[in-house]
Amino acid sequence: NTYFQLDDWTELVKVLDKPHLLWPINEAFLDQQLDAGKEIWFSHDPDKADGYFLLEVGHIRNRLHGTDFSFEPDGALFKLVRK
């Protein structure tokens, strides 16, 4: 399993001073996980994404375009399910 958690986005943005610099790192992480067939879980509903989370969800949707997948609730979390 691979787990990525960022506890304080605001503090990280202060340190980097340019939040757009985080996207290439996050994009590469998402690509690695998708390519490895890893399970992807979300703490928030991807269908209600906004802000930076919307960028992540949009990237996943674009990468999986043409495949059968869904975001399904599982308790308090949401799971990317590939069919």
What mean pLDDT comes out for the span 54-70? 96
More confident residue, 75 or 2: 75
The continuous run of DSSP H or E covering 78 comes out as strand 77-82
| pLDDT for position 1 | 62
List pLDDT tens digits, range 14-56: 777 666 777 888 899 999 999 999 999 999 999 999 988 899 9
| pLDDT for position 46 | 97
Question: Global pTM?
Answer: 0.81
| Residue 73: φ, ψ to 5° | -70, 145
Length of the chain: 83
- DSSP annotation of 44: S
pLDDT at residue 11 is higher than 70: yes
Burial class from Cβ neighbours inside 10 Å (0-12, 13-18, 19+) for residue 66 reads exposed
